Structure 1
Amino acid sequence: MNKTKSMRTLFCLFSILIMSCCVGLNAYSQELTIEQKEKITSEIVTAFENSINAAENLDAKLLADCVDDSFQSGFIINGRFFPLFKGVMDDFNGKAIGCKSQKLAVINKKITVLGENTALLTASGDYSLYLEDGRTLTGKFAWTIVYSKINGQWKIVHSHM
């Protein structure tokens, strides 16, 4: 009987501990107003459009300006993992040789505001890559991009493309 009572007491104390942790952790979650989420969403749309324009013009410098690699969270491009954004840019510059421009038609786009400084964007669509020899390559794309507000600007901190 003593052992059963000890187990019940231990179970109750453990349950109280878990509930206290849950309540404590919930206190740190961010509840944003609809207006705050709409403002952040609008800012993400602008940042995304800037990166689309840079990509369409094959402008490596402008693309790099859209990214902050200070977290070093890694980037995935066509199934290849790059631990640093520098590797992405080296790959981009190598593959851009012989390319004139590209057109990206975003068909689906969803922005999820995760907090006042973090947002997730998922997008898919079609691309046309125009080569200098006159050929055009076409296909589909699907992306996941994590944005973080750093020094007042929304930057890409991770992408899976």
Structure 2
Amino acid sequence: MKKLSCFLCGLIITFCISSNVYSQELTTEQRGKITSEISTAFQKSIQAAENLDAKLLAGCVDDSLQAGFIVGGIFFASFKEVMADFEKKAVGCKSQDLNVVNQRITVLGEDRALLVATGDYSLYLEDGRTLTGRFAWTIVYSKVKGEWKIIHSHM
């Protein structure tokens, strides 16, 4: 019984030490820098979406983790599937304006961040019509080879 108690105490102490070793404490300056970098990365993807630029949009994403994407309530297992859907739905569209009304960036670590945003869109069609509506997005960013990339989104 005494050996079991010593073993459990040792296990608990090891767990506590291990969890402290791997925790990430970021300074206010580090969080500010990451927030600024995420904001810049997000603006790049907004520009790509406004111009319906599939190549630039794809350059904002890293799908190596295969986290999946949700667009309009539909689950896509890969970003390749998202892009196929995007290109099909972009037929007949000229451009769009995205007006971000609310945006919050939460830094999760030195290489992970979460962005949530809501706003309004205007989609301009080639036939002269304009479709308007609201959007809500949750985007997970990860630093991949020194660049912030989208690894998951729920739109």
Q: TM-score, normalised by structure 2?
A: 0.92
Which consecutive segments of 4 or more residues in structure 1 shift more than 2 A?
8-20
Q: CA–CA distance in 2 between the matches of 1:10 and 1:152?
A: 47
Picking from 71, 77, 80, the partner of 2:65 is: 71
Match of 1:102 among 96, 99, 102: 96
Deviations 1:50-78 (A, max 9, x none): 00000000000000010011111111101
Shift of 1:25: 1.3
What one-letter code is carried by the residue in structure 2 that aligns with 1:119? Answer: A
Letter in 2 for 1:150: V
1 CA distance for matches of 2:153 and 2:132?
21
Q: How many Å apart are 1:24 and its aligned residue?
A: 1.6
Q: Which 5+ residue runs of structure 2 have no aligned equivalent?
A: none
Q: Percent identity?
A: 68
Residue 156 (1) aligns with residue 154 (2)? no
The residue correspondences of 1:1-161 to structure 2 (distance < 5 A) are 14=8, 17-18=11-12, 20-161=14-155
Deviation at residue 14 of structure 1 after TM alignment: 3.9
Superposed displacement of residue 151, structure 1: 0.8
Cα RMSD of the aligned pairs, angstroms, is 1.6
Gaps in structure 1 of 5+ consecutive residues: 1-5
The two structures have a TM-score, normalised by structure 1, of 0.89
The alpha-carbon deviation at position 21 of structure 1 amounts to: 1.2
- Aligned counterparts of 2:102 and 2:8: Cα–Cα separation in 1: 46
| Higher-Rg member (1/2) | 1
Q: Which amino acid aligns with 1:124?
A: T
